[in-house]
Amino acid sequence: DGGITQSPKYLFRKEGQNVTLSCEQNLNHDAMYWYRQDPGQGLRLIYYSQIVNDFQKGDIAEGYSVSREKKESFPLTVTSAQKNPTAFYLCASSGGAGQGRTEAFFGQGTRLTVV
């Protein structure tokens, strides 16, 4: 089946530790995104990538890092510098500028809890 796979579904992290969230897509989309969802704040953009080996900061990039070494993969690292990392993280992909700029397709999300 085509789609976006995020793993793990639930993740617990101790304070001071870095943790990496996985996102894989088999939709052949150029663009990929990471959003953070908090109650009452909607989806806030952390990082996005329009093409392999390129990515840009979104509105709340501080304390996060990403890589885009392969078209189908866009992992997000939540570093110890992120002050309030407990949240629900959503990965998405869409057709890029050369693919008709489709709507975003979402994974099922990863709920990260700092303990």
Partner 1 sequence: AQSVSQHNHHVILSEAASLELGCNYSYGGTVNLFWYVQYPGQHLQLLLKYFSGDPLVKGIKGFEAEFIKSKFSFNLRKPSVQWSDTAEYFCAVISYSSASKIIFGSGTRLSIRP
Task: Determine which residue in the list 17, 28, 81, 101 makes contact with partner 1, applying CB under 8 A.
Answer: 101
Please tell me whether residue 107 binds partner 1 under the rule CB under 8 A. yes
Binding mask 48-77 for partner 1 (x = CB under 8 A): x-x-----x-x-------------------
Single out the residue of 32, 7, 6 nearest to residue 93, CA to CA: 32
Task: Determine which residue in the list 23, 31, 66, 114 makes contact with partner 1, applying CB under 8 A.
Answer: 31
Q: Whose Cβ is closer to partner 1: residue 31's or residue 114's?
A: 31
Of 14-22, 40-48, 70-78, 79-87, which part binds partner 1 (CB under 8 A)? 40-48
78 and 13 Cβ atoms separated by less than 8 Å: yes
Query: From CA 54, how far away is CA 80, in angstroms rounded?
Result: 24
Which residue type does 6 have? Answer: Q
Strand pairing report for 31-38 and 42-51: antiparallel
Residue 74, by phi and psi: left (phi above 0), alpha (psi -120 to 50) or beta? beta
Which residue type does 49 have? Answer: S
Please tell me whether residue 90 binds partner 1 under the rule CB under 8 A. yes
Q: Which chain residues interact with partner 1 by CB under 8 A?
A: 30-31, 33, 35, 40-45, 48, 50, 56, 58, 90, 92, 94, 96-97, 101, 103-104, 106-109
